[in-house]
Amino acid sequence: MTTADAAPAAPARVPRLSYFFPAHNEEANIEALVAEALETLPTLAETFEIIAVDDGSKDRTGAIADRLAAEHPDIVRVVHHHPNRGYGGALRSGFETARYELLAFTDGDRQFRVADVGRLTARMAGPDRPDVVVGYRIRRADPFVRIAYARTYKVANRLLFGLRVTDVDCACKLFRREALEGVRVESGGAFFSAELLTKIRTAGRSIAEVGVPHYPRTAGSPTGAKPSVIGRAVRDFWLLRLRLWANREAAMRRGRPILGR
């Protein structure tokens, strides 16, 4: 079940929150993002952690992240990938490393504000208490080609998986840990989020939506529209669809558990 709502007036402060973000060659963004998170998350959670996933960066992203973790050892942690594992692989490491009951992520490119995670916690505190809250970009600040691709992808996920989510790949999401228990994901690329949400919905857990602002990238370069990334997503899309048709229970068991031990 998927429901959409306008953003509540005020965020809900939660007991414990794990916040993570993937970062690939984000040396120009990572320090400002961590500073923003350190300033903002105390207003959203009584206890929180920040996890930076350095996905095989070739610039100073990893070194900056390590310095920030040394400066804030009780709050900031870093996961390093060598070599790059792709977007889905970076998100997977965030989920596996997170320790708290609520797990939220944005991207490392600062196209979302950490404060807007408060829109998600507020929606999760609603009377229907959804298991997952997915953001959708109110006004997407991306080039036309990425917007066109996203619209096509949305229709394909709706028609072939019944995934009625406005913005599948919006990198502003919040999950209850218990909603992720037993969920396994096979994709390590751009199809990761769609596979995760499809399997959560298939498992009977509830998904709600709320609008979030989206900001233009001011530093670094996006990689999501590369032909190799799109090709891998198309392959993973059809593999899951065919496997669900052939044997739903077996398809749900494929892949690694989304949560760490």
| CB neighbour list of residue 155: distance below 8 Å, 6 or more residues apart | none
Average per-residue pLDDT for the chain: 91
Quote the pLDDT of residue 152. Answer: 87
> Does residue 8 carry a pLDDT above 60?
no
Quote the pLDDT of residue 151. Answer: 85
> Does residue 108 carry a pLDDT above 90?
yes
Per-residue b or e along 8-25, where b marks 16 or more CB atoms closer than 10 Å to that residue's CB: beebbebeebbbbbbbbb
Quote the pLDDT of residue 144. Answer: 72
Quote the pLDDT of residue 9. Answer: 47
pLDDT, tens digit, 9 for 90 and up, residues 18-75: 999 999 999 999 999 999 999 999 999 999 999 999 999 999 999 999 999 999 999 9
> Does residue 171 carry a pLDDT above 60?
yes
Taken in order 191, 87, 142, 165, is the CA torsion positive or negative? positive
pLDDT, tens digit, 9 for 90 and up, residues 91-106: 999 999 999 999 999 9
30 phi/psi in degrees, rounded to 5: -65, -40
Q: What is the pTM of this model?
A: 0.91
pLDDT, tens digit, 9 for 90 and up, residues 195-236: 999 999 999 999 999 999 998 877 755 655 577 788 889 999
Taken in order 88, 134, 219, 232, is the CA torsion positive or negative? positive
> Does residue 173 carry a pLDDT above 80?
yes
Could you tell me if 48 and 100 are in contact, meaning their C-beta atoms sit under 8 angstroms apart? yes
Please tell us whether the domain made up of 2-257 is placed in CATH 2.30.29.30.
Answer: no
Q: What span, in angstroms and rounded, lies between the C-alpha atoms of 2 and 53?
A: 29
| CB neighbour list of residue 27: distance below 8 Å, 6 or more residues apart | 57, 59, 60, 61, 64
